[in-house]
Amino acid sequence: MGLTIREIRDRTTRARHLMQRSRQQGFAVGAFNIDNQETLIAIARAAQKLNAPVLIEVSQGEVEALGLENVRDLVDNYREEYGIEVYLNLDHSPTVEACKRAIDAGYEFIHIDISQANHDATEEEIIAKTKEVVEYARFTGALVESEPHYFAGGSNVHHEGIDYEEIKKTFSTPEGAKAFVDATGIDTFAAAIGNLHGKYDVPKELDLELLARIREAIPCQISLHGGSGTPLHFFEDASRAGVSKININTDMRVAFRESLEKVLRENPDEYAVVKLMPQVFEAVQVVVEEKINAFGSAGKAVS
């Protein structure tokens, strides 16, 4: 069932307060992707156990698999069942129209990513479409996130090395970040400082000195995409340095698949899926709890 505009605005106000608290108290909120109900349950259980605020997020493919309104209802149901502080984020949405539909459905966070669909999109096109979403979001108060560049990688496991000399060419700059924020009026800037989508055989390295300069240059929130496979100390430092949102996807997918494969091997004659899933829940929950602790958000939820 849909939310009233009063309910939506109340939740977006609470979401804005959460982002303010994250800056004031030096923690980041975990934004965890889901593509099935089991992963959502694992995130909800971790949030409840650690009394941590969380964002549930879905990208375009995940929206197509689960349904935009269905995800809203699922998250609201578990919000009530587990008594957790949880919000919804539309992740890497490739079109203005998809963002508007999510805003209408009451998503508190919206990430418009024009370069995801068109890697050759000009900065002028990205700015214009981002501004359109920012204007539309004023009606509900949803927080809008964007960036003027394409994030490399994909939410999968990659066995190639990381060419940081090449990746550095796409890093954010303090000057570019400020110009983009000023031009669009976004609430959250998605910074590129060595974070890449997916999980690699080698650990990622974040340029925390660059992060500090970006933080000083812009007034809005900062997010980090591509958090999987990053040594935890980078998260601890980034959270204290003023990052408010960190995205995690692949680490959970790896835990889900590897634990499911193990359970299937150990139970070849079991066909009741519900009996196979508890170990899978637990494996994904371990990953979520690890990230929450590294982000410094344990104990930061408010009712």
Residues of 57-88 as b/e, b for ≥16 C-beta within 10 angstroms?
bbbbebbeebebbebbebbbebbeebebbbbb
Gap between the Cα atoms of 247 and 56, Å rounded = 10
List 35, 91, 187, 207, catalytic entry: 91
Give the residues across from 245 on adjacent strands.
29, 223
Active-site residue 201, yes or no?
no
- Spatial CA neighbour of 110 closest among 78, 154, 63, 170: 63
Residue 21: exposure state from Cβ atoms within 10 A (0-12, 13-18, ≥19) = middle
Query: Annotated active-site positions, please?
Result: 91
